[in-house]
Amino acid sequence: MTDTQIKELLKEIRGEQHISPFEKDNVVMGYIKEAEYDINDKSGHQIDYEIDLTARSLLKNYVLYARGKRLAEFKQLYGAGYAELQAKYYKPTDL
Protein backbone atom coordinates (compact mmCIF):
# COMPACT_ATOMS: atom_id res chain seq x y z
CA MET A 1 0.00 0.00 0.00
CA THR A 2 1.08 3.56 -0.57
CA ASP A 3 1.53 6.00 2.29
CA THR A 4 -1.67 7.77 1.21
CA GLN A 5 -3.64 4.50 1.33
CA ILE A 6 -2.20 3.68 4.75
CA LYS A 7 -3.17 7.13 6.09
CA GLU A 8 -6.71 6.75 4.74
CA LEU A 9 -6.97 3.29 6.28
CA LEU A 10 -5.64 4.73 9.55
CA LYS A 11 -8.49 7.28 9.58
CA GLU A 12 -11.00 4.52 8.85
CA ILE A 13 -9.62 2.29 11.62
CA ARG A 14 -9.53 5.20 14.09
CA GLY A 15 -13.23 5.82 13.45
CA GLU A 16 -14.30 2.18 13.58
CA GLN A 17 -12.21 1.08 16.55
CA HIS A 18 -12.61 4.30 18.57
CA ILE A 19 -8.88 4.65 19.02
CA SER A 20 -7.85 7.22 21.60
CA PRO A 21 -6.39 10.42 20.18
CA PHE A 22 -3.46 9.78 22.52
CA GLU A 23 -2.50 6.60 20.63
CA LYS A 24 0.14 7.71 18.16
CA ASP A 25 -0.47 7.43 14.42
CA ASN A 26 2.94 5.87 13.77
CA VAL A 27 2.16 2.99 16.16
CA VAL A 28 -1.15 2.18 14.45
CA MET A 29 0.46 2.62 11.02
CA GLY A 30 3.09 0.09 12.10
CA TYR A 31 0.32 -2.40 12.88
CA ILE A 32 -1.24 -1.73 9.46
CA LYS A 33 2.07 -2.43 7.73
CA GLU A 34 2.61 -5.60 9.78
CA ALA A 35 -0.89 -6.78 8.90
CA GLU A 36 -0.37 -6.07 5.21
CA TYR A 37 2.90 -7.99 5.19
CA ASP A 38 1.49 -10.93 7.14
CA ILE A 39 -1.64 -11.30 5.02
CA ASN A 40 0.25 -10.90 1.74
CA ASP A 41 2.90 -13.36 2.88
CA LYS A 42 0.41 -16.00 3.95
CA SER A 43 -1.78 -15.61 0.86
CA GLY A 44 1.22 -15.58 -1.49
CA HIS A 45 -0.12 -12.54 -3.31
CA GLN A 46 0.22 -8.76 -3.24
CA ILE A 47 -3.38 -7.90 -2.35
CA ASP A 48 -5.10 -4.66 -3.31
CA TYR A 49 -6.92 -3.77 -0.10
CA GLU A 50 -9.02 -1.15 -1.90
CA ILE A 51 -10.62 -3.86 -4.06
CA ASP A 52 -10.55 -7.00 -1.87
CA LEU A 53 -12.85 -6.06 0.99
CA THR A 54 -12.50 -9.49 2.63
CA ALA A 55 -8.75 -8.94 2.95
CA ARG A 56 -9.35 -5.36 4.08
CA SER A 57 -11.62 -6.58 6.87
CA LEU A 58 -9.02 -9.16 7.91
CA LEU A 59 -6.36 -6.44 7.99
CA LYS A 60 -8.50 -4.18 10.19
CA ASN A 61 -9.18 -7.04 12.59
CA TYR A 62 -5.45 -7.81 12.70
CA VAL A 63 -4.86 -4.22 13.81
CA LEU A 64 -7.58 -4.50 16.46
CA TYR A 65 -6.01 -7.63 17.96
CA ALA A 66 -2.44 -6.32 17.60
CA ARG A 67 -3.36 -3.19 19.55
CA GLY A 68 -4.64 -5.42 22.35
CA LYS A 69 -1.53 -7.64 22.22
CA ARG A 70 -3.72 -10.64 21.27
CA LEU A 71 -2.30 -11.77 17.92
CA ALA A 72 -2.21 -15.43 18.95
CA GLU A 73 -5.95 -15.27 19.57
CA PHE A 74 -6.44 -13.48 16.24
CA LYS A 75 -4.57 -16.25 14.39
CA GLN A 76 -6.85 -18.88 15.95
CA LEU A 77 -10.06 -17.00 15.25
CA TYR A 78 -9.22 -15.82 11.74
CA GLY A 79 -7.32 -18.83 10.37
CA ALA A 80 -10.23 -19.54 8.04
CA GLY A 81 -9.92 -16.02 6.63
CA TYR A 82 -6.29 -16.68 5.77
CA ALA A 83 -7.23 -20.02 4.19
CA GLU A 84 -9.92 -18.33 2.11
CA LEU A 85 -7.41 -15.81 0.76
CA GLN A 86 -4.88 -18.57 0.04
CA ALA A 87 -7.49 -20.44 -1.98
CA LYS A 88 -8.61 -17.28 -3.75
CA TYR A 89 -5.10 -16.30 -4.85
CA TYR A 90 -3.73 -19.79 -5.43
CA LYS A 91 -1.94 -20.11 -8.76
CA PRO A 92 -1.00 -23.65 -9.74
CA THR A 93 2.39 -24.24 -11.34
CA ASP A 94 3.82 -26.94 -13.55
CA LEU A 95 6.18 -28.08 -10.81
Residue 65 forms part of a structural domain: yes
User: 92 pLDDT band (50/70/90 cuts)?
Assistant: confident
Count of domains forming the chain: 1
Residue 56 forms part of a structural domain: yes
- Span 13-57, pLDDT tens digits: 999 999 988 999 999 999 999 999 999 999 999 999 999 999 999
Residue 95 forms part of a structural domain: no
Domain that holds residue 49: 3-88
**Residues 23, 52: Cα–Cα separation, whole Å:** 28
Residue 94 forms part of a structural domain: no
Residue 93 forms part of a structural domain: no
State the pLDDT at residue 95.
65
**Residues 66, 74: Cα–Cα separation, whole Å:** 8
